[in-house]
A and B are shown apart, each in its own frame.
Chain A
Amino acid sequence: MSQSAATGDDIGSGSQSSRISEAVIRIAGNSQDGIQSIGGFLARLAGRSEQEVMTMMTIPSTISGGPSIFQVRLGSGDVLSAGDEADVLLAFYQHSYENHISNLREGGILVYDSDHVEPNEEWLDKYRHIGIAISSLTVEAIGGTARDKGKNIYALGLIGRMFNLNLEKLERLINERFAAKGESVVKTAMDAFQSGYRYQSDDITNLFEFTSSEVDRSNQVVMSGNEAIGYGLIAAGVRFGAGYPITPWSDIMELLRRELPKYGGSFIQCEDEIASVSMAIGASYGGRVAVTGSSGPGISLKTEAIGWAVMAEVPLVVVDIQRGGPSTGLPTNVEQSDLNIACFGGHGDSPRVVLAAANVEDCFYTAMEAVDIARRYSVPVMLLSDQAIATRIEAFDEPKLEEICRDLTPDLTPTPTHKPYDLETETGASRHRAPGTRIEDGRYPVVTGLEHDEWGHPSASPDLHEGMTHKRRNKLKALADELPVPEVFGADSGEVLVVGWGSTTGPLYEAVEKSGNNGQAISALKLRHISPLPNGLEEIFSRFKRIYVVEMNDGGVHGYGQLAGVLRARFADPRIQGINKTDALRWKVWEIIDRVNECRNADAAETNA
């Protein structure tokens, strides 16, 4: 709780509220307790208020039950990460209490369900304990048959009171959420909520009040990263997709299956990953960029077909929601270990485009960009997200849909002549002409995975293979020329530049902000375009003494991770070092700062030796 008026032991004591700019609330329980929906309400509330919000959740990989957490960070300023330590921990069970207390900062507030949790004597001095009989009070509020249902809404009421959240807005959200389930459900939820909100105790009443924000954030939409990708694809004009269920990608296919029909499209659940990518490629060939996606092993299975799309120059978007690997790995944990397969997966020289989204809002716009690039360059585009972004909820400025939505209805205008693989084009990019297009000179294109001549007929001519290989990679060079040079976050030059991609970006930026105060300033660079890399990076690198690439993947045999490997191969710059971890948890800000300092000290020692 930065800028908190009250700090340390006296935090929030008594009923006088503390003015705070942000707070991290962790709710720990079991997956069936509906704690995700508490987070969802808070995130949505923030979207309608002046607060920024970022959430993080972990869901057990078991089918039902098991411990689950939801963490919400609400703030009046920019919220860049889900927060290292919680200011408030709401624990439903003994295991929630014991397993998550270490995530609560010293002096933080523990609210526990006294029906299920027995406080530990040792921790009483370290954290402020507030016991509330959440389970029995919920039953009291909504009737005896409710069992464990409704606890989450009761707890939401408690949180609303603690942080003096807007009662009217919260009640409206509850109404909207349950309206479809009928009046009695709304009433039950409202009873639980109000009972929690009116809980009489000086311990929790109006503990905190958020300072007002300078920025008007009232026109925001609230969604998860996976939702943002799904809607971004729709906004970009995608109307067909195919997939196979796998965590954490499945949300996107479920969303598209439900939503695409409204736009006259469809999403097909296939018998396997290979059929999915193949069906999507078939639809793309049909004239309109289609999408497939997966996670983990599903991406491995698709690689042959992606190679075909590279060779045949058919547009395609492949969404990869990364999880821990290799093999089945860690289905519900985060990792950034698919960069290599995205860039290089498959046999042969097969250049393709790789984009990485850094947060929920970025998921929306990067999905749109992926479709646009795939279409203009007739190339498969890999869109990398990860489990952390996929499942967290953020609020962001509502996109101006009327301006940005695209119509990709295939153009079937007859053409005098068409070479599907014209070697004379300036950029190397071919225009895909869909079947149904009349070609007046009577020479029709075959799109193919065999090396081919300009009309798509097989050829093993040495000149043609070389020419076509160059064509397929030259169009990526042309794309690189139009990409913006990424902006440095923090000082424009200095000692340390940390480079990151994907969900690592938020903690990296926050590390930059935190580092600025202690004389050990660092700057950060986020790469959204991984393949091709944008031009001009060497100029940025030249302004810094040390370059550390921070990733959630293994440093490998040579001590640097997957993006670091790509950058070293590109720039042959030994200053590019890796900071890696494979604990399958998102980066915390202090971890980054500590690791950067370690590296800096080690480098300095080496220089002095």
Chain B
Amino acid sequence: MSDSATLEAPPQDAEERQPVTKKEITADHPTWCPGCGDFSVLAIYYKLIQKRNIHHEKVTTVAGIGCSSRFPYFVQAHGAHYIHGRALSFASGVSLSRPDLHVFAFGGDGDAFSIGGNHFMHTARKNVKMTYVVMDNFVYGLTKKQTSPTSPLGFKSKTDNWGAFDRPINPMKLAISAGATFVARTSHTNPKHLLEMMDLAMDHDGFGFIECLSECTEFYAGAFDASNPRKGGEYLLVPEDHDVTDEAAAYKLAGEDFPGKFGVYYQVQRPTKNALEAGVSDAAKAKFEGKKDWEVLQTTFNRMK
């Protein structure tokens, strides 16, 4: 886009800037319950920012509504706490108009796959450049234990006292079939793996989606024990011989019984929405080389006489 030239180089101080410290990127103390899985996602986000030495103003943190969506308040950087389910649309607006920023969107399973299901699908297929981390806890936490779109069959909630019977959404399958170009799965219980996935997602030129299992200790304690070696479970990685560009293989992997595998299921390079739109714009602008904006409009008006 035309503004990229001016936007990419905001005025810098003469002296070299020091790397950001954890303290500098920490804001409010999280409102989450003790033991909530989201704490480790936040901690890894801080770590990622430090590791990549991203200065405050270079990153934007966007979220919708839900426990995990409180994320932007806890990060000392430009951020937006948007409405329920629409964080991806908002984040797309930032991403498409500001190519100089890296946009991170955070949310929960209700925000992503229920109220925001439509936007998840379309942001994935359009391949808008951003990193999206869904902290999936299989339950509505902020509203205190209702069935979520990822609650497993039989889960007893306040809205399904007898046990959930609506078939849950499989986020991995959904992302792959919608056309996401980077699809990974991780868990809050394995911070090293989580950091690795976020690192990869950030490097991905396109829509990078991570499903991060994040336990709700208050309303769905023990939900992910089967994936946690400390609780007698197994944390199994995606096999090394898995071809991440093979959509059918990725889909098959996504179909495995819980707890399934962790790692990158699918990754391909496809032009981003950002690049395609910029291409249209570059081509259109080339015809008006050297003309000021008002002169371009004047050209149009001259034909309307």
A398: B residues at CB distance < 8 A: 301, 305
Q: A413-B11, A436-B7 are in contact. Are A279 and B281 (CB under 8 A)?
A: no
* Contact call B57/A240, Cβ cutoff below 8 A: no
Give the Cβ gap from B215 to chain A, nearest Cβ, in Å.
Answer: 24
B301: A residues at CB distance < 8 A: 221, 231, 398-399, 401
* Contact call A240/B79, Cβ cutoff below 8 A: no
A399-436 with Cβ < 8 A to chain B: 399, 401-402, 405, 407, 409-410, 412-414, 434-436
B91: A residues at CB distance < 8 A: 282
A220 close to B (CB within 8 Å): yes
- Cα–Cα distance between A259 and B293 once the two chains are bound (Å): 11
B11: A residues at CB distance < 8 A: 412-414
A94 close to B (CB within 8 Å): no
A305: B residues at CB distance < 8 A: 83, 86
Q: A264-B2, A264-B3 are in contact. Are A436 and B82 (CB under 8 A)?
A: no
Q: Which of B96-104, B144-152, B244-252 contacts A (4 or more CB under 8 A)?
A: B96-104
B1-28 to A contact mask, C-beta < 8 Å, 1/0 = 1110011001101000000000010011
* Contact call B119/A266, Cβ cutoff below 8 A: no
A259-285 to B contact mask, C-beta < 8 Å, 1/0 = 111111110101110111011111111
A445: B residues at CB distance < 8 A: 78-79
* Contact call A436/B92, Cβ cutoff below 8 A: no
Give the Cβ gap from B25 to chain A, nearest Cβ, in Å.
Answer: 9
* Contact call B78/A278, Cβ cutoff below 8 A: no
Determine the interface band of chain B, counting residues with CB < 8 A from chain A: 35 or more
- Cα–Cα distance between A199 and B303 once the two chains are bound (Å): 30
Closest to B80 in A: A447
Give the Cβ gap from A406 to chain B, nearest Cβ, in Å.
Answer: 9
A457 close to B (CB within 8 Å): yes
B39 close to A (CB within 8 Å): no
B219 close to A (CB within 8 Å): no
Q: A262-B287, A265-B281 are in contact. Are A231 and B101 (CB under 8 A)?
A: no
B60 close to A (CB within 8 Å): yes
A447: B residues at CB distance < 8 A: 79-81
- Cα–Cα distance between A312 and B81 once the two chains are bound (Å): 9
Q: A240-B96, A286-B97, A435-B78 are in contact. Are A261 and B284 (CB under 8 A)?
A: yes
Q: Which of B69-77, B181-189, B230-238, B262-270 contacts A (4 or more CB under 8 A)?
A: B69-77
B277: A residues at CB distance < 8 A: 261, 266, 268
A436-459 to B contact mask, C-beta < 8 Å, 1/0 = 111100111111111000000110
* Contact call B284/A262, Cβ cutoff below 8 A: yes
B304: A residues at CB distance < 8 A: 44, 47, 221-223, 227
* Contact call B2/A285, Cβ cutoff below 8 A: no
B285 close to A (CB within 8 Å): yes
B122 close to A (CB within 8 Å): yes
A242 close to B (CB within 8 Å): yes
Q: A442-B76, A444-B78 are in contact. Are A263 and B296 (CB under 8 A)?
A: yes
* Contact call A231/B300, Cβ cutoff below 8 A: yes
Give the Cβ gap from A491 to chain B, nearest Cβ, in Å.
Answer: 37
A409: B residues at CB distance < 8 A: 3, 6
A151 close to B (CB within 8 Å): no
A287: B residues at CB distance < 8 A: 97-98
* Contact call A239/B297, Cβ cutoff below 8 A: no
- Cα–Cα distance between A286 and B27 once the two chains are bound (Å): 21
Cβ 8 A contact of A261, one of B73, B95, B285, B303: B285
A443: B residues at CB distance < 8 A: 76
B58 close to A (CB within 8 Å): yes
- Cα–Cα distance between A260 and B86 once the two chains are bound (Å): 25
Closest to B91 in A: A282
Cβ 8 A contact of B10, one of A284, A308, A438: A438
A363 close to B (CB within 8 Å): no
- Cα–Cα distance between A285 and B89 once the two chains are bound (Å): 12
Q: A231-B297, A263-B2 are in contact. Are A444 and B93 (CB under 8 A)?
A: no
B7: A residues at CB distance < 8 A: 410, 412, 436
* Contact call B90/A281, Cβ cutoff below 8 A: yes
- Cα–Cα distance between A410 and B1 once the two chains are bound (Å): 13
* Contact call A438/B280, Cβ cutoff below 8 A: no
B165 close to A (CB within 8 Å): no
Cβ 8 A contact of A222, one of B10, B77, B78, B305: B305
* Contact call A278/B86, Cβ cutoff below 8 A: yes
B193 close to A (CB within 8 Å): no
* Contact call B119/A275, Cβ cutoff below 8 A: yes
A165 close to B (CB within 8 Å): no
Give the Cβ gap from B105 to chain A, nearest Cβ, in Å.
Answer: 10
- Cα–Cα distance between A261 and B283 once the two chains are bound (Å): 8
Give the Cβ gap from A312 to chain B, nearest Cβ, in Å.
Answer: 7
Q: A261-B280, A409-B3 are in contact. Are A436 and B57 (CB under 8 A)?
A: yes
B279-301 to A contact mask, C-beta < 8 Å, 1/0 = 01101110110000111111011
- Cα–Cα distance between A435 and B77 once the two chains are bound (Å): 8
* Contact call B280/A266, Cβ cutoff below 8 A: yes
Cβ 8 A contact of A444, one of B77, B97, B295: B77
- Cα–Cα distance between A494 and B7 once the two chains are bound (Å): 57
* Contact call B297/A405, Cβ cutoff below 8 A: yes
What are 12 A-B contacts defined by CB distance under 8 Å? A47-B304, A231-B300, A235-B297, A239-B1, A240-B93, A268-B96, A275-B118, A281-B93, A412-B7, A435-B101, A444-B27, A450-B81
Besides A270-B89, A448-B73, 18 more A-B contacts (Cβ < 8 Å) are A221-B305, A223-B304, A262-B287, A275-B89, A280-B93, A282-B95, A285-B90, A286-B98, A308-B83, A405-B297, A414-B11, A434-B98, A435-B57, A435-B60, A435-B94, A436-B98, A446-B79, A450-B81
Closest 8 CB pairs of A and B: A264-B2, A282-B93, A278-B89, A435-B78, A261-B284, A405-B294, A282-B90, A283-B93
